Structure 1
Amino acid sequence: MSAQIPTAPPSGAPTRSAPPDARTDVLRARSRGARSGRLGATLAGFATLMVLWWALTHPAVVDDPILRAVAPQHALPAVAGLFARGVLVPDALASLYRLLSGLLVAAVVGIPVGLLVGLNRRLEQATHSPFQFLRMISPLSWTPLAVAVFGIGHEPVVFLVAAAAVWPIVMNTVAGVRAMDPGHVLVARSMGATHREILLAVVLPSIRPALLTGFRVALGTAWIVLVPAEMLGVRSGLGYQVLNARDQLAYDQVMAVIVVIGALGFLLDTLSRRLLERRRAAPAARATRAPAGAAVG
């Protein structure tokens, strides 16, 4: 009885692949490993930053009393002290309120403008140079006009934050519209869709990744502008708290507020990045599930 030699399946025959559950487990394991690697790298980076901070403010390196006062062994306890006094939480909430208000104004203005410019080639050519000119003006340059028009309070700060955040939103909206497949719009028109239906069902879903990227850039820019904008005479906010601590010559508290500003900015950027990654991963996940569903059917 002769031994049978296994032969390869015909070229058109389907090949066996790993079960979906096994593939899912492998992907989850890789994802956990990647997250662990990123977490380790992040912790190592922050540890290096702390060591440099401590070394650059050590009495053996500097003899300036102000620099010694902002050392981590003084600034970090000052953070806890400001929290215990009930100072940081109200100021952080005031800053976040102004930040979100400015971003809302920037979105209300920037998205429609970006859609109009992106959908009209002649309008884009006419507005390109003026937009680039206005975009290169520092938002803080508008401070005297903002105070003259809106007075002292929330309004000028919100205006300056919106002036900083509107351009990333406009530019990314235009880029998203320009990168959209025009065939989608043609198909929708051939099916009798109205302009409103095309905008809501075709254009906005297609430019969602570009919009989210624009919001992330706008968030970072607005947060950077917010702190100096809160030094205009308002009586709350993290920027005001920096000036208040400086006037008291409490430089450990100045550094404590700076640390809180950096921590909140890092947290906001991380949340926006996670949202952007999740939105980008959702279409890919649906695409990988579609063939399995079709095979079962």
Structure 2
Amino acid sequence: MMQGGKRWAARLAWPLLGMAITLALWALAARHISDVEAIRSAFAPQAGLKALAQLLGSGELWPHIRMSLERIAIALALALAIGVPLGLCLGLSPLFARISGPTFQFLRMVSPLSWMPLAVMALGVGEAPVIFLLGFATVWPIMLNTAAGVAALDPAWMRLAHSLSATRWETIARVVLPGCISHILTGFRLAVGIGWIVLVPAEMLGVSSGMGYFVLDTRDRLAYDELMAGIVVIGCLGFVLDWLARAISSRWMQRGQRG
């Protein structure tokens, strides 16, 4: 028991030290951000953390958190629905890869935020352009990792499926998809990080809820302590989402190894 407690203490010591250094740097930056004492006080860690406790306690922040999580979930579902089939086509069809590869690479290198004006003109103001921007940002890592997974498959598996007279759909369902699931999960984890980064500026696009809207609103109201609280929440949520994506990937890998 004592040894287990020591191991947990050792594991917690370094993250706690990192958090302490981060708070110290935050306090130092706040002291030099402006010559106005009121602004320096508003940006200080104690002001931001106090505002965070008040916002969570009053329930004001929870609807924004819920809407941001809903949007990222919808966008990731769309990215999986589009990215996995496209990745399979890229990996299984050299002709499709030659025809579409340059176009996909070109589109992938265009910042999703560059599409903001066009998204608003085509889809109007509201949820649709936000979901479009998030989906556009998250589809590429899923698609490209799926294609890489197909390329990494052992050719003997494909020959075995062919020798057993498996149809193309049976080969995809029972050989290709199970064989490249680890690559798909890696792409999904990358997509979570990219989508969460794009979410905040995308939510400044004519919506009235979400963490991006909350940050923009606090800036307009000059509520800098609440702005810092919002930044802390965005970072914490992103950390949790990445942890969940890693946990899902690790769990699946362990299941595959046991199987």
Same fold (TM over 0.5): yes
Find the partner of 1:122 among 89, 95, 99.
95
Deviation string 1:185-239 (CA, Å, 9 cap, x unpaired) is 1111211211111111111110011000000000100000011000011011111
In structure 2, distance between residues paired with 1:271 and 1:64: 41
- Letter aligned with residue 92 of structure 1: I
2:240 to 267, 271, 280: 267
AA at the equivalent of 2:116: T
- Compare 233-242 and 39-48 and name the one that shifted more: 39-48
Please show how residues 1-297 of structure 1 align to structure 2 within 5 Å: 33=7, 38-58=11-31, 63-65=35-37, 66-286=39-259
What is the Cα deviation at residue 125 of structure 1? Answer: 2.6
Name the SS for the 2:76 alignment partner.
helix
Give the superposition deviation at 1:54.
1.8
Query: C-alpha displacement at 1:280, in angstroms?
Result: 2.0
Deviation at 1:90, TM superposition (A): 0.6
The count of aligned residue pairs is 255
More divergent stretch after superposition (173-182 vs 189-198): 189-198
Matches of 1:267 and 1:36, distance apart in 2: 21
Q: TM-score scaled by structure 2? A: 0.92
Structure with greater helix percent: 2
Indicate the structure (1 or 2) with the bigger Cα radius of gyration. 1
Spell out structure 1 runs of 4+ moving beyond 6 A: none
Residue 96 of structure 1 and its aligned partner are, at CA, apart by 0.6
Cα distance in 2 for partners of 1:79, 1:124 equals 49
**Percentage identity across paired residues of the two chains:** 47
Distance 1:276 1:283 in 2: 11
CA distance in 2, matches of 1:37, 1:194: 54
> 2-side partners of 1:212 and 1:182: how far apart?
22
Residue 131 of structure 1, CA deviation: 1.5
Relative contact order (alpha carbons < 8 A, sep ≥ 6): 1 or 2 greater? 2
Closer/same/farther in 2, CA of residues 248 and 282 from structure 1, 3 Å limit: same
Q: Is the alpha carbon distance of 1:45 and 1:150 closer, same or farther for their aligned partners in structure 2, counting shifts above 3 Å?
A: same
Whole-Å separation in 1 of the counterparts to 2:18 and 2:173: 43
Q: Could you tell me how far 1:62 is from its partner in structure 2? A: 5.9
| Partner SS for 1:47 | helix
Structure 1 vs Structure 2 CA RMSD: 2.0
> Does the Cα contact within 8 Å between 1:62 and 1:68 map onto a contact in 2?
no
Per the TM alignment, residue 44 of structure 1 is displaced from its structure 2 partner at its CA by 2.4
Letter paired with 1:270: W
Code of the residue aligned with 2:248 in structure 1: it is L
